[in-house]
Chain A
């Protein structure tokens, strides 16, 4: 049952039929939402702006990963390696070779796109979990190279990046960085939504549902799968650039397999194959991580003799794991499913269906 459009609204022209925003109410919500989003950062503390930046960066990665995993059905457990590619490429070109930031960002996108194509190549022959395991291998290799190539990456000491300047504006405060992150998220979310609605996006869905049938229907399987990898690694590359700008200190330990697992968790908790789900899932998981961390470190500070510091982190890890497990038991289809249920309940209230 498609309840995306309220009763009585009919498309009268092609431009209306392909529009993302269909009714006046939706326009009002979209514009008010954007204005609210962009007027938010100056009123937030530095801590919250930092968190907002982290959420935005993760959201960009998750939007890309959802196109790859949720739409095209190719599981990637190496997404944080692509982010690392983007972040380090930006860092090296910007901090070491003094290119302008936008140019280094472009380089970063090219680097991660190339690595995305290379990692995607086995997907031509591999199916299901073999592919996921090959992306894990990529993850480990990148992590090792980041340590070993210390003449470029600084190895375990890390790579320090000065405050970024774009067109003479120095992005040196949390508020400015948060603005840039929000801008990118809005643009890239729009792009992701658009890609999902094009022929390519529909080809992704066909490949996910049954790749053999898709091929029979005339979809170029290799090209579609590689396109999915390309798009998701470009998203990860852009996120990596913003990551470098946001944290300004890159370490190999920021880009572990654990982080890749969290990206996948955001996609699954949000709901696979739903871009609204990516947004909800990212906000949910990042807030959950931050919440358990803060709460349990406060708890450990309040009860110093009962809880050692190690125990505090242990309890927060266990709580996170338990939250994921319980969430999957009770809502395996993700937050977007719940969101749709709430929306349709609102539309047809007071009737039950």
Chain B
């Protein structure tokens, strides 16, 4: 029993790291433009399959594959911002959110056309896939690498926001586009930069998460799996995403271990959402979200 609980905690934290990695890319876009990017999962899917094509079919060296995938994400991000998001700047927010849903559908269609007939695939092993055993508890090495990358990414983001000019500008447009523009910040350029960062994050998540298991349509569903994480952490907080990722991972794994056997499976999928509803009632803006003060 104690071992099962400990195992659930460890797997929960490792699962949570995946969620955090995905959530960060969504949070940075939400923070700076108020748009929840539903296309994030589809971008993860597309870049993971692009990486797979390069590394498995074209047999390129690993570093070249990673570089080309990240470069492709750069192009996707700046194209999305320039062609799709920029025309909607200054309009009500809902059409923009609808735009990300439309983009997600477009990318999924592209995935189905190009890679859909293959079903789930796996990358060739390039990360240690073994397990450490501590007593009875199994810790996957690849998952630990994901955890490490999530933490490193969060640290990098923090340094970037704190110490670079562009980072400060991103912080500034989070406060409000019009205010930022009036102090001389090129909001369009910064937004384009934000979308590029988000898409590069997505590509990174695609490669890392894909390496821990198989690569398939489930990568797209990650965007819905991380909704409880983002709400719990607060829609505007990157650090909150990491901590909330751990908590939601724990909730999921503990309910998978202890409640699923009782009611016959499947509770794992809804437990985070039930948890989300409770969080919303107790703490509507999550752990670290901004409660904006409104004036009339």
Known: A125-B284, A317-B109, A320-B109. A212 touches B95 (CB 8 A): no
Cross-chain contact of A314 among B88, B109, B263 (Cβ < 8 A): B109
Does more than half of chain A's interface fall in helix, strand or loop, or is it mixed? Answer: helix
Tell whether, in the assembled complex, residue B101 and residue A265 are in contact, meaning their CB atoms are under 8 Å apart. yes
Assembled-state Cα–Cα distance A268/B103 (Å) = 15
Q: Which of A49-57, A130-138, A238-246 contacts B (4 or more CB under 8 A)?
A: A130-138
Cross-chain contact of A126 among B94, B102, B230, B280 (Cβ < 8 A): B280
> Is A105 close to B, CB under 8 A?
no
Q: Mark B73-112, 1 if CB is under 8 A from A, else 0.
A: 0000000000110011001111101110111111111111
Assembled-state Cα–Cα distance A122/B273 (Å) = 14
> Is B12 close to A, CB under 8 A?
no
Question: With a CB–CB cut-off of 8 A, which chain A residues contact B87?
Answer: 329, 332
Tell whether, in the assembled complex, residue B109 and residue A325 are in contact, meaning their CB atoms are under 8 Å apart. no
What number of A-B contacts does a CB cutoff of 8 Å give? 145
Distance from B255 Cβ to chain A, minimum over Cβ atoms (Å)? 12
Tell whether, in the assembled complex, residue A321 and residue B94 are in contact, meaning their CB atoms are under 8 Å apart. no
> Is B3 close to A, CB under 8 A?
no
Distance from B115 Cβ to chain A, minimum over Cβ atoms (Å)? 9
Known: A126-B280, A213-B296, A332-B95. A325 touches B113 (CB 8 A): no
Assembled-state Cα–Cα distance A311/B113 (Å) = 5
Tell whether, in the assembled complex, residue B105 and residue A272 are in contact, meaning their CB atoms are under 8 Å apart. no
> Is A34 close to B, CB under 8 A?
no
Tell whether, in the assembled complex, residue A140 and residue B280 are in contact, meaning their CB atoms are under 8 Å apart. no
Question: With a CB–CB cut-off of 8 A, which chain B residues contact A324?
Answer: 98-99, 101-102, 105
> Is B129 close to A, CB under 8 A?
no
Tell whether, in the assembled complex, residue B98 and residue A328 are in contact, meaning their CB atoms are under 8 Å apart. yes
Tell whether, in the assembled complex, residue A310 and residue B117 are in contact, meaning their CB atoms are under 8 Å apart. yes
Distance from B29 Cβ to chain A, minimum over Cβ atoms (Å)? 12
The residue in chain A whose Cβ has the minimal distance to the Cβ of B92 is A272
Question: With a CB–CB cut-off of 8 A, which chain B residues contact A261?
Answer: 101
Tell whether, in the assembled complex, residue B103 and residue A321 are in contact, meaning their CB atoms are under 8 Å apart. yes
Distance from A334 Cβ to chain B, minimum over Cβ atoms (Å)? 8
Known: A126-B284, A133-B231. A314 touches B110 (CB 8 A): yes
Q: Mark A191-234, 1 if CB is under 8 A from B, else 0.
A: 00000000000000000001011001000000000000000000
Question: With a CB–CB cut-off of 8 A, which chain A residues contact B277?
Answer: 122, 134, 137-138, 141
Tell whether, in the assembled complex, residue B109 and residue A315 are in contact, meaning their CB atoms are under 8 Å apart. yes
Known: A125-B284, A321-B104, A329-B83. A314 touches B227 (CB 8 A): no
Residues of chain B having any CB pair with chain A under 8 Å: 30, 34, 36, 83-84, 87-88, 91-95, 97-99, 101-113, 116-117, 224, 227-228, 230-231, 235, 263, 266, 269-270, 273-274, 276-277, 280-281, 284-285, 294, 296
Residues of chain A having any CB pair with chain B under 8 Å: 69, 75, 122, 125-126, 128-130, 132-134, 136-138, 140-141, 144, 147-148, 210, 212-213, 216, 257, 261, 264-265, 268, 272, 308, 310-311, 313-322, 324-325, 328-329, 332-333
